[in-house]
Amino acid sequence: MSAPLPLRNIAIIAHVDHGKTTLVDQLFRQSGTFRDNQRVEERAMDSNDLEKERGITILAKPTSIEWNGTRINIVDTPGHADFGGEVERILSMVDGVILLVDSSEGAMPQTKFVTGKALALGLKPIVVVNKVDRPDERIQEVLDEVFDLFVTLDATDEQLDFPVLYASGRNGYANTDPSLREGTLEPMFQKIVDHVPPPSLDEDAPFSFLVTLLDRDNFLGRVLTGRVQSGTVKVNQPIHALDADGKVIETGRASKLMAFRGLDRVPVEEARAGDIISLAGLAVATVSNTIADTSVSTPIKAQPIDPPTLSMRFAVNDSPMAGREGSKVTSRMIRDRLMREAESNVAIRVTESADKDSFEVAGRGELQLGVLIETMRREGFELGISRPRVLYGTDENGQRTEPYETVVIDVDDEHAGTVVEKMATRKGEMLDMRPSGGGKTRITFSAPSRGLIGYHGEFLSDTRGTGIMNRLFEKYGPHKGKIEGRKNGVLISNGTGEAVAYALGPLEERGILFVGVGTPLYEGMIIGENAKPEDLEVNPMKSKQLTNFRSSGKDDAIRLTPPKIMTLEQAIAYIDDDEMVEVTPKSIRLRKAILDPHERKKASRKKEAA
């Protein structure tokens, strides 16, 4: 058997949209991973449909390239803090990180989150200033920001002495000279090989392996991915799984071993310490368990994961239209799917309610839970989703605490006043405000997560779509008291049927409509936003009474404004505590949690009395 290639294991970390996945594409191309005539999609690492549509990385994925006789295992990580659970586990598999920063935007909050985790583990960073060909680049200031960030994150002297490359991932070049605008990624490959240490692990000890990713394969069953921490494993070798306390969960055999080669998983006969592999053959073992030779009884210490800060109620869809569009509608199916998700995604917690018809799903943020709902919807599920609520804690004095987030907002100067005013009403505290060049201002706030729920849509309206908001979990702090919610009431359908133009025409004067002509409606469904603060029950199905008498101009065509159609995230952010989003594979509907108007009045009276 041929000698194994020298190894380097690295993770690429960066803020959303700073160009990680595009850079990995170019690393593939220039290392000869793709054939010259091979047709490859752009951002090849963003493999699932939601990643392609949104242009963000959601799942961390390992890959591997070969360069000048060295195998470089690369892990592409999500840039969004909501998917931080993925990143925290991944960092235990690598020996170095490439920190990618945009030459104009600089170090952003999400960069801080992941970099802090990497530095705490003692990983040595290589800083790559990406998109140096931007007209608004400010390379030197960005490098100073990165250095300041490392200092605030308590980097060691060795970590502060980081090498720097200036690159354009899209154009496929990296240089040590910031003025060059051409070349290849050769300097980056060289820097990885020179700067990142090879895995310093014991090849002679018994085999052990920490599970960091779990996925399912139709043919192989559960596939566990991670890095071999010690020893060697061969196909069909007896193995067992240990939990964090060292208890044996199950025993079995390594029925299949697979290594990453480019975008593919390739079967291998054996793997050594330092290799990132996928292993099949166990039915119970899950993320953060240790898989090891049967002689090993001490588990590998897993990284602790930050706790969830937000939860939503996932309920069985009980609307009058339930079961018409989805194929998976029972609580048992929903429960099995959520438990499967919680097993592979350690940042999500699922608890079942006493009535067994709903589940409390806790996660890192609205985006993470929104992606889960969208994925389930595409799989054929029907769900009723409640308004997100934050998870409170208590401090040592027994006082109530709530999660706070650092919010960094980039806006045109003219909108800065509006944003500051809106954040103040949501109990946000301004920490910093500075011009960021090009007529833009960067404002930093510390705000309770509770106040930020539903703000993003309003923020985009206030800034005419030009503002950029980045949020990052900061701490649990003192409870801020009552925060004002949505100011407007809603228009509620008082019957079941199809919306009629004749009825919708006059209702347009009352507010903004969410439904168009011919939309199927039911009693208790929300059809629009009222211009006034109170809710209003209306009849959107009233048709014109026919008479024998017609006057001229009486039958002018009714011209309706196109309805406001909400995306899933907008709908979840919009609803109030007594409302729900009905999610099916084909529709997203807003409704009152209690559909019957009399029951609704009773419930609101009880709430007022309490």
Binding residues for GTP: 17-22, 130-133
Residue entry with tokens 């070798």: 237
* Residue of higher predicted confidence among 38 and 355: 355
As a whole number, mean pLDDT of residues 64-68 equals 80
Which of 105-109, 480-484, 511-515 has the lowest average pLDDT? 105-109
What count of other Cβ atoms lies within 10 Å of the Cβ of residue 418?
A: 15
- For residue 43, is it left (φ>0), alpha (ψ between -120 and 50) or beta? left
Measure the CA–CA gap between 210 and 305, rounded to whole angstroms: 15
Nearest of 406, 404, 410 to residue 443 by alpha carbon: 410
Using pLDDT thresholds of 50, 70 and 90, give the confidence band for residue 39: very low
Nearest of 489, 438, 494, 447 to residue 470 by alpha carbon: 447
Name the DSSP letter for residue 52: H
Using pLDDT thresholds of 50, 70 and 90, give the confidence band for residue 82: low
Task: Tell me what pLDDT residue 88 has.
Answer: 65
Measure the CA–CA gap between 450 and 464, rounded to whole angstroms: 24
Question: Above 70 in pLDDT, residue 280?
Answer: yes
As a whole number, mean pLDDT of residues 89-93 equals 75
Give the Å distances, CA to CA, from 605 to 57, 413, 491. Answer: 46, 46, 20
* Residue of higher predicted confidence among 4 and 326: 326
Name the DSSP letter for residue 606: H
Measure the CA–CA gap between 398 and 221, rounded to whole angstroms: 46
Contacts 24+ apart (CB under 8 A), 142-147: 142/101, 142/102, 142/103, 142/104, 142/106, 142/107, 145/101, 145/106, 145/107, 146/99, 146/101, 146/106, 146/107
Task: Tell me what pLDDT residue 86 has.
Answer: 59
Measure the CA–CA gap between 202 and 301, rounded to whole angstroms: 16
| pLDDT tens digits, one per residue of 529-585 | 888 888 888 888 887 776 665 554 554 567 788 888 888 888 888 888 888 899 999
Question: Above 80 in pLDDT, residue 385?
Answer: yes
Strand 164-168, strand 124-130: pairing: parallel
Measure the CA–CA gap between 64 and 86, rounded to whole angstroms: 19
Residue 133 identity:
D
Question: Above 80 in pLDDT, residue 390?
Answer: yes
Strand 221-230, strand 232-234: pairing: unpaired
| pLDDT tens digits, one per residue of 47-61 | 445 444 444 545 566
* Residue of higher predicted confidence among 484 and 317: 317
Crossing angle of helices 20-30/186-195, nearest 10°? Answer: 100
Using pLDDT thresholds of 50, 70 and 90, give the confidence band for residue 75: confident
User: What is the percent of the chain with per-residue pLDDT over 90, rounded to a whole number?
Assistant: 1
Task: Tell me what pLDDT residue 34 has.
Answer: 47
> HSE on the CB side for 141, CA within 13 Å?
10
Give the ranges where 379-454 is alpha helix by DSSP (H).
416-425, 449-452
Strand 61-67, strand 393-394: pairing: unpaired
For residues 346 and 403, is the Cβ–Cβ distance under 8 A? Answer: no
Q: What are the beta bridge partners of residue 217? A: 221
Using pLDDT thresholds of 50, 70 and 90, give the confidence band for residue 80: low
| pLDDT tens digits, one per residue of 323-373 | 888 888 888 898 888 888 887 777 788 888 877 778 888 887 777 788 888
Task: Tell me what pLDDT residue 348 has.
Answer: 81
- Averaged confidence pLDDT in the chain: 80
As a whole number, mean pLDDT of residues 398-415 equals 85
* Residue of higher predicted confidence among 24 and 251: 251
As a whole number, mean pLDDT of residues 432-448 equals 83
Residue entry with tokens 């199927």: 520
| pLDDT tens digits, one per residue of 252-262 | 888 888 887 76
Question: Above 50 in pLDDT, residue 4?
Answer: yes
Question: Above 70 in pLDDT, residue 33?
Answer: no
Question: Above 60 in pLDDT, residue 40?
Answer: no
| pLDDT tens digits, one per residue of 569-598 | 888 888 888 888 999 999 889 998 888 888
Using pLDDT thresholds of 50, 70 and 90, give the confidence band for residue 305: low
Binding residues: 17-22, 130-133
Q: Which residues contact 485 (CB under 8 A, 6 or more apart)?
A: 454, 576, 577
> HSE on the CB side for 53, CA within 13 Å?
6
For residues 390 and 402, is the Cβ–Cβ distance under 8 A? Answer: yes
For residues 520 and 498, is the Cβ–Cβ distance under 8 A? Answer: yes
Using pLDDT thresholds of 50, 70 and 90, give the confidence band for residue 84: low
